[in-house]
Amino acid sequence: LNPFTLYMGLTGLFLFGGLFQRTSFLICLTLIICGIYLFLSARSAAHSLVIQRLPIKPQYVEGEEVQVIVEVRNRGGFPVHGLVINETFTAALRSQVRLAMPRTLPAHSHLRLQYLRQCDGGMGHHDVGPLEATVTDVLGVFRYLVVEDTLVELEILPRIEPLPELVFRGSPHSTLYGYYDVAQRGLSVNFSGIRPYSPGDSLRHIAWKLTARTGELMVKEFERSVNSEVTVILDLNPEVHLGIKSQSTWEYGRDAALGIMSRQLEMNNSVRLVSNHFFSELGRGEDHFHYLCREVLKWSPEHLTEDESLMRWGVAGELLMRTSTLISRGSTLVYISPYHKLEFAKAREVLKHLSGEGIDIHIVFIDANSFVAPLVRKLSWAHLAEVGYCRGVEEEMGELRKMGFTSYQIKCGEPLARGFLIHG
């Protein structure tokens, strides 16, 4: 029994006994007077209580630890008993915070309570708050709730995990210098040297002044080392994603996309990001990467589930088909998605077609089954049946290997880089 129920039960019992015995009536009257005092003292303490969170910086990186300090002031003449403060910190996997004060807060006094939370709940925008303080009387009979509903918004920036170098090939039509050598004469803007004319050389590459001096046709040659044009497709179809916060296929997909793009931009490659509701132009450099990071931070599974228009580019095969209009022959495509047997069957046919068009195909599978164990009790029978279609990643990778595709597998709880070391 809680104290309030016990108090009301005893008061009622002695009130009934007071109908027949004076002593019981006096005890009942004493309980009522004590109850009034307890009620008024708890209410006065609650009205005099001020709770506030000291300012915290608005931006952190995934994995950083945040110290939150809560200041509590008792401005009244009654002491505060049984103070418990609850708060929600959504940037952490353990989002619920409970601070219990072991002693009484005297009248006209103040103190500071603090807690630490790690930003391990995933990138994006998160809230801290509201603050809810529970106050009781000295016996814990009456309870009051004091709420400070000011929310603090935190922006959690991604921590880019270094990935091993992926074996991409240069884009033969690129005019930008890079790490890849192509078979044909380069179209790079970087001048390489002069050589005699050969049949088939473009007239616009003839060095006319040198030709006039030597009397022999001379041709300007440009470097054959070019960069690669990489299109990263992140399929955010909510029907095939599962998990909670940072322990979700959604978050692993975003981490993989950002890790791949960061690595390719370091190598001076041109990168484009495509998703079910977004596509960027090809770009290079830090500014382009920061722009893509800002966009990825905005995406949340709740938004994509609630707003069907955000799936306007379709999923799986349809998404790939629409993206194919943006990709030039000889470039590289990286497709990132949880493995789902039925959905990937549609995507596989489009990928085979794109490969036939001379596009270098890389597939990153997120192993959805590795995310299931912590969620078994929370999944309905329908969801568990759907998870059955997520089995067989290794077999699929074996088939893709026979087709000449490069595939990777990333799992929950494993370093992202490990999935890119073991591939077909």
Are the C-beta atoms of 201 and 238 separated by less than 8 Å? no
Domain 228-421 listed as CATH 3.40.50.410: yes
- Residue 244 CA, distance from chain mean position: 10
pLDDT tens track of the chain, all 424 residues?
Answer: 789 999 999 999 999 998 899 999 999 999 999 999 999 999 999 999 999 999 999 999 999 999 999 999 999 999 999 999 999 999 999 999 999 988 899 999 999 999 999 999 999 999 999 999 999 999 999 999 999 999 999 999 999 999 988 888 766 555 555 555 444 554 444 566 677 877 766 676 688 888 888 888 887 766 555 568 899 999 998 888 888 889 899 999 999 999 999 999 998 889 999 998 899 999 999 999 999 999 999 887 777 777 777 677 778 889 999 888 888 888 899 999 999 999 899 999 999 999 998 899 999 999 988 888 766 555 554 455 566 778 889 999 999 998 889 999 999 989 999 999 854 4
Residues 6+ apart with CB under 8 A from 100: 83, 84, 85
Four-way CATH pick for 48-157: 3.40.50.200, 2.60.40.10, 2.40.160.10, 3.40.50.300: 2.60.40.10
- Count of positions (residues) in the chain: 424
Q: Round to whole Å and give the CA distance between 383 and 292.
A: 32
In 3D space, the residue among 111, 107, 86 whose CA is nearest the CA of residue 96 turns out to be 86
Are the C-beta atoms of 56 and 68 separated by less than 8 Å? yes
In 3D space, the residue among 372, 370, 348, 384 whose CA is nearest the CA of residue 418 turns out to be 370
H helices present in 267-337, as ranges: 285-298, 301-306, 316-323
Would you put residue 3 in left (φ > 0), alpha (ψ -120 to 50) or beta? alpha
Cα-based distances in Å from 246 to 134, 141, 269? 31, 41, 29
Query: 44 is written with which tokens?
Result: 């006065």
Are the C-beta atoms of 143 and 134 separated by less than 8 Å? yes
Handedness of CA 366, 368, 374, 375 (dihedral sign): positive
Backbone phi and psi for residue 20, each to the nearest 5 degrees, phi listed first: -120, -20
- pTM for the complete prediction? 0.80
Domain residue ranges in the chain = 3-40, 48-157, 177-225, 228-421
